[in-house]
Chains A and B, each alone.
Chain A
């Protein structure tokens, strides 16, 4: 008999503009000790299912139809009090972001012990003893001592271990993991995934893994359900579904996963649509006649160096003091040198905290290097002996940030956001010309000229990233810094954005500095790659060499930790174009 059984489950959200059907009748069953993945893009309804099972759907969400059976008992109709006894005790849940899942004002020992005491008649002392044993089991060193520490004293990976302890401390039979490793680095992700898998096996716990990451699905799950717009389009044994997807949506979802084994000209885009309409054709920019082409100096070819980083070092103060000997600082970037050639895409890869973004900020002029220089087109623009950064140079370097939600001013119309750099640098003769340029740019990034009148909140994450790109293009730049431009986006949206960047680079002869922690994306985008670890550049080579013949042990380690999808040959499926 299955542990959890969802029968024709429907979840609706009643809004002022009518009812949104988030989940439209799904059937899914999970056996004891089985790990089942639910995969799909954001908005597919994956998380809603997890919340519904554990009875924490937030209003206006409601179960509109179907049944949830757990261990022979129907639980969707239970009272709140009865459901509370199931939560934690029988069904545990792990959330995405370990940084916000723990109460910052209570020690982790308190949080674990209170949960154990809640579900059994255990004394506080006994609960504390159990908590220590559990922390040791999930791999936290010095558990006795760390019990008395607060969440902020733990790193992201360690916090997720604490979250796992909390979810499993009352010995539930089922655990729901909602994007448990999305917020973590690749090396930490690998550890957490193997820990979860081991715990589920040892304790014979059933698990639901909700994720958008095919790599995670392939690493841990036994079976997988592919969701699209509230419907499960395909279920089956994980290896079978990944190797031979039957449904067109599963095929296109899989093909959109960037590959680490070979570089393709373009990212395969998700082209599955329920109505089967073809995607709109994009107009190609002709630099001879286009506004973007009217920049002073023509781009020279060859392998001439455009940007050079000389011994860049950045130190942040970690402990202030009047007395110099008491001051402490933290070296985020340590003596980094590299050069970027005209027209190439230079990648920087590394885990969080390796200093990648700090390098980007120094080049963009947002940070002043403690030591070293940034040389752009022969001029020292940052660091010691920098000439006051001429507006002309600043205009040529633009940046696209990671978070599409906080990088746009939400009180400005999109048209004004994109027009601001044009007007600031005086690149248009009149406001009217600026407006027509803005309309044209928005059109080129695939949003349409109408977008100018709207505010950022009307757009999704991917669309906002397009707005950021349009804003960056508005100064007629030659050099774009892309700091994790797609790490907040779904794989299909990622493919669109990265293809857009590739197209623009080809049309405009742009030089890109591309920063990411995602190795397959780096492989697809970059010509040369620098690998960073703890502020140092450990390896610098062409993308081919980094992936095929890594020299530094750290590069090898990073590559080995990358979750792999056994990606079948893309040409197998007719629906997918290369």
Chain B
């Protein structure tokens, strides 16, 4: 157990190191930052002074070390465009993205798993077939279109829900986090974007759970459970569902990462003040510090989520806990 986790942690460090190196290299690939900072008629001496001040004359290793130790403390430099520390910019935007991503993943789990179980058990039923057909639509229509359609229906035609923004927000944890969960307008603003973002995840979770259920229901231990006269509810949820969860947990973990990283489209459609839009602007304005910080942060989320996913396997499957899947192959 401890060995497994420490192995995983070591891998995570390697991943983060490589990502940091790439993020660091961005600064050099995209041109000399000094040239972009000074005016056309700056003298050579002025430029040299600036270079020295910014530490650009130090060796690459020293610069990289400075970059990494800064990043660990949340210091990613100053945005070229916003002229403010990138760390502060991200901190302002992060709650918006996290609340949106978290809500939509939660929605997809709460809807996707029961729907998947249902369609898996009644695969030839009329309702199940209908659900599968609808889910195909959900998986094939692009997110932005769904967003626009929802805005048109619920904001423009019916006027029930706001079409953009986060609504009123409240500062919690001494101003470190701004949340939209505590006000009615914040919650109302969350509905449309989270549904838009959750639709694809829900269909994906549902289809995955369904496929796994179909497999598990064919296994001997399910047949044996039924032959012992156990109630259907026990067979389906206690015996079958738990055995379908390993791949589902993997996919939900990856999806959560992807939702945080690539909520850009939904955030644009709904004018959501999250990190995705910050990143989009950064690309347009060649704002290297923001781009590199974004890169590191997203990689960090993926690594953390994957670590949590692996630990969840441990909690679910006793065979992993005793290492039986690896060790007993030849015993």
**Chain A residues at the B interface, C-beta cutoff of 8 Å:** 54, 56, 84-89, 92-93, 95, 97, 100-107, 114-115, 118-119, 150, 152-153, 163, 166-167, 170, 316, 318-319, 321, 330, 332, 353, 358
Complex interface: chain B residues within 8 A of A104 (CB): 221, 243, 317-319
A100-B219, A103-B221, A152-B318 are known contacts. Are A330 and B228 too (CB-CB below 8 A)?
no
Judge whether B317 and A95 touch: CB under 8 Å: no
Complex interface: chain B residues within 8 A of A101 (CB): 220-221, 224
Cβ of B229 < 8 Å from any Cβ of A?
A: yes
Q: B46-54, B64-72, B206-214, B322-330: which lies at the A interface?
A: B322-330
Judge whether A105 and B318 touch: CB under 8 Å: yes
The residue in chain A whose Cβ has the minimal distance to the Cβ of B223 is A56
A163→B223 CA distance, assembly (Å):
13
A101-B220, A330-B330, A332-B330 are known contacts. Are A87 and B318 too (CB-CB below 8 A)?
no
The residue in chain B whose Cβ has the minimal distance to the Cβ of A59 is B124
User: How many Å from the CB of B244 to the closest CB on chain A?
Assistant: 11
Cβ of B84 < 8 Å from any Cβ of A?
A: no
User: How many Å from the CB of A181 to the closest CB on chain B?
Assistant: 16
Contacting residue for B228 out of A100, A118, A319, A332, CB 8 A: A118
Judge whether B327 and A319 touch: CB under 8 Å: yes
Judge whether B243 and A84 touch: CB under 8 Å: no
Cβ of B45 < 8 Å from any Cβ of A?
A: no
A152-B324, A316-B330 are known contacts. Are A56 and B226 too (CB-CB below 8 A)?
yes
Complex interface: chain B residues within 8 A of A150 (CB): 318-319, 322
Cβ of B242 < 8 Å from any Cβ of A?
A: yes
Interface centre among A105, A118, A358 (most CB of B within 10 A): A105
Interface centre among B223, B226, B227, B330 (most CB of A within 10 A): B227
Judge whether B227 and A93 touch: CB under 8 Å: yes
Cβ of B14 < 8 Å from any Cβ of A?
A: no
User: How many Å from the CB of B313 to the closest CB on chain A?
Assistant: 11
Judge whether B231 and A100 touch: CB under 8 Å: no
12 A-B pairs within 8 Å (CB atoms) are namely A56-B226, A84-B231, A93-B224, A103-B221, A103-B225, A103-B239, A104-B317, A105-B318, A106-B238, A106-B242, A170-B229, A318-B327
Cβ of B110 < 8 Å from any Cβ of A?
A: no
Complex interface: chain A residues within 8 A of B227 (CB): 54, 56, 87-88, 92-93, 95, 167
Interface centre among A88, A103, A150, A318 (most CB of B within 10 A): A103
Cβ of B331 < 8 Å from any Cβ of A?
A: yes
A403→B224 CA distance, assembly (Å):
25
The residue in chain A whose Cβ has the minimal distance to the Cβ of B230 is A118
Judge whether A115 and B228 touch: CB under 8 Å: yes
Judge whether B228 and A85 touch: CB under 8 Å: no
User: How many Å from the CB of B320 to the closest CB on chain A?
Assistant: 10
The residue in chain A whose Cβ has the minimal distance to the Cβ of B327 is A318
Interface centre among B219, B243, B318, B330 (most CB of A within 10 A): B330
Judge whether A114 and B330 touch: CB under 8 Å: no
User: How many Å from the CB of A455 to the closest CB on chain B?
Assistant: 23
Judge whether A95 and B234 touch: CB under 8 Å: no
**Inter-chain pairs besides A56-B226, A166-B224, 7 sampled, C-beta below 8 Å:** A88-B230, A97-B220, A100-B219, A105-B318, A115-B228, A118-B228, A152-B318
Judge whether A118 and B239 touch: CB under 8 Å: no
Give residues 170-192 of B contacting A (CB, 8 Å): none
Judge whether A85 and B229 touch: CB under 8 Å: yes
Judge whether B331 and A330 touch: CB under 8 Å: yes
Complex interface: chain B residues within 8 A of A115 (CB): 228-230
User: How many Å from the CB of A533 to the closest CB on chain B?
Assistant: 16
Cβ of B139 < 8 Å from any Cβ of A?
A: no
Cβ of B311 < 8 Å from any Cβ of A?
A: no
> Nearest 6 pairs between A and B by C-beta?
A88-B229, A87-B229, A88-B228, A100-B220, A93-B227, A150-B318
A119→B231 CA distance, assembly (Å):
10
Complex interface: chain B residues within 8 A of A152 (CB): 318-319, 322, 324, 328
